[in-house]
Amino acid sequence: MVEKEGLFEVAKWLKREERPLPKGKKRKKDYREFKTEEYVFEPTTLETLYKFAKRGIIKALGGPVSRGKEAIVFHALGDADEELAIKIYKLSTSNFNAMLDYIMGDPRFTHIKKDRRSVVFTWARKELKNLKRASDAGVPVPRPIACINNVLIMEFVGEGGIAAPRLRDIPPEVLTRDFELEELLKLITSYLKALYKDAGMVHADLSEFNILMHGYLEGEEVRPVLIDLGQALLLEHPNADAFLRRDVENIVLFFNRLGLKCSVEEMIAEIKNGDNAVSQDTTG
Ligand SMILES: Nc1ncnc2c1ncn2[C@@H]1O[C@H](COP(=O)(O)OP(=O)(O)O)[C@@H](O)[C@H]1O
Ligand SMILES: [Mg+2]
């Protein structure tokens, strides 16, 4: 068990700026510049974090990785010093009605309580379930670990407290120089296909913002990882096809801006009809 006083380990977070970035990666002011003091936990969230500590799931809570409208993501260390990402959904979310709509359309969550707090708790559990389902189907997503109330714990994608860059964080000239873009697109298409055909799901919020380029900062072979699966839905959902199309449009637009000439229709056809192996090849 961890002492309560030992829960916050900010030293690592403060040291992060000393780490060198690879060539071509600019250090820019972004969400990582926010000070830790800006993150204030609601008392119930602190209690939930303390529960994880007592169960030996979290040993130390590090610094914030991201602050979004609905959730804050922190770096943390597990009992065996493994790196974890802790996604804390805000209890005062403004997106409550949209969350409720998604949840009500999902056959896995019937008979749920509809007050604000319960909806946020269900949302966090939905993301955990979605991650598990995708992960079981072999889609590269952060490995889900646990969820209590509004706090979701998963594998950290990155190293030394630095999250892997999002696809959109890598400058276009670096992407075109360092990657076989067609191969990268094929790989992402294969993920969407496995998600669709093997997991029976659509991401429904996919774009260059929700793909992490694992291994990039370490100079290793890059393995993209899909994140942010809270709103992912099952194929039974009446709008599943419309969401798939929107996901594909976002990805096609991103790659075509970099000079490819791919088509939304072809990519959708490949996702729905091609064979389902997740390919491994990435960098060129
Ligand atoms: N498992 C993870 N490992 C490392 N970083 C993560 C992980 N999950 C999220 N992040 C970081 O936090 C950011 C926000 O997470 P995300 O799940 O996309 O939430 P939202 O977009 O709803 O705020 C991501 O862009 C990424 O930088
Ligand atoms: Mg996101």
Percentage of the chain beyond pLDDT 90 is 71
Q: Which residue has the tokens 């990666």?
A: 25
pLDDT of residue 156: 98
* 22 band by pLDDT with thresholds 50, 70 and 90: low
For residue range 143-176, list pLDDT tens digits in order.
999 999 999 999 999 999 999 999 999 999 999 9
Is-catalytic flag, 241? no
AA identity, residue 118 = S
Burial 114-131 (b: 16+ CB within 10 A, else e): eeeeebbbbbbbbbbbbb
pLDDT class of 38 with cuts at 50, 70, 90: very low
**Which pLDDT score is estimated for 21?**
60
Q: What is the pLDDT of residue 5?
A: 36
Least confident window among 5-14, 45-54, 179-188, 231-240: 5-14
pLDDT higher than 90, residue 284: no
Which residues have C-beta atoms less than 6 Å from ligand 1? 65-66, 68, 70-71, 73, 85, 87, 142, 154-158, 163, 166, 210, 227-228
- Catalytic pick among 106, 169, 228, 247: 228
pLDDT of residue 111: 87
Residue-wise pLDDT tens digits, 39-78: 567 888 999 999 999 999 999 999 999 998 899 999 999 9
Rounded average pLDDT over 262-283 = 77
Q: Cα separation of 98 and 78, whole Å?
A: 33
pLDDT at 80 over 50: yes
Burial-class residue 282 by CB neighbours within 10 Å (0-12, 13-18, 19+): buried
Task: Give the pLDDT confidence score for residue 158 in this predicted structure.
Answer: 96
**Ligand approaching nearest to the C-alpha of 73:** 1
User: What pLDDT was estimated at residue 277?
Assistant: 52
Q: Which of 101, 205, 247, 281 is catalytic?
A: 205
Domain 164-273 grouped into CATH 1.10.510.10? yes
> In this predicted model, which residue has the larger pLDDT, 40 or 220?
220
Per the prediction, the chain carries an average pLDDT of 86
Tell me the CATH architecture of domain 4-162.
Answer: 2-Layer Sandwich (3.30)
- pLDDT score for 35: 43
In 47-92, at which residue ranges do the beta strands (DSSP E only) sit? 60-67, 71-77, 83-89
Q: What is the DSSP string of 168-227?
A: GGS-HHHHHHHB-HHHHHHHHHHHHHIIIIIS-EE-SS-SGGGEEEETTTTTS--EEEE-
Q: Which of 187, 161, 184 is nearest to 11 (CA)?
A: 161
pLDDT, position 201: 98
Which residues are near ligand 2, the ion (C-beta closer than 5 Å)?
210, 228
For CATH 1.10.510.10, the residue range(s) in the chain are 164-273
Question: Mutate which of 30, 73, 89 to test ligand 1's pocket (most atoms within 8 Å of Cβ)?
Answer: 73
Domain with CATH 3.30.200.20 in the chain: 4-162
Tell me whether residue 205 is one of the annotated catalytic residues: yes
Q: By alpha-carbon position, which residue is closest to atom 19 of ligand 1?
A: 228
Q: Tens digit of pLDDT for each residue in 2-12?
A: 333 334 443 34
pLDDT digits (tens, 9 = 90+) for 108-139: 998 899 999 999 999 999 999 999 999 999 99
**What pLDDT does residue 39 have?**
55
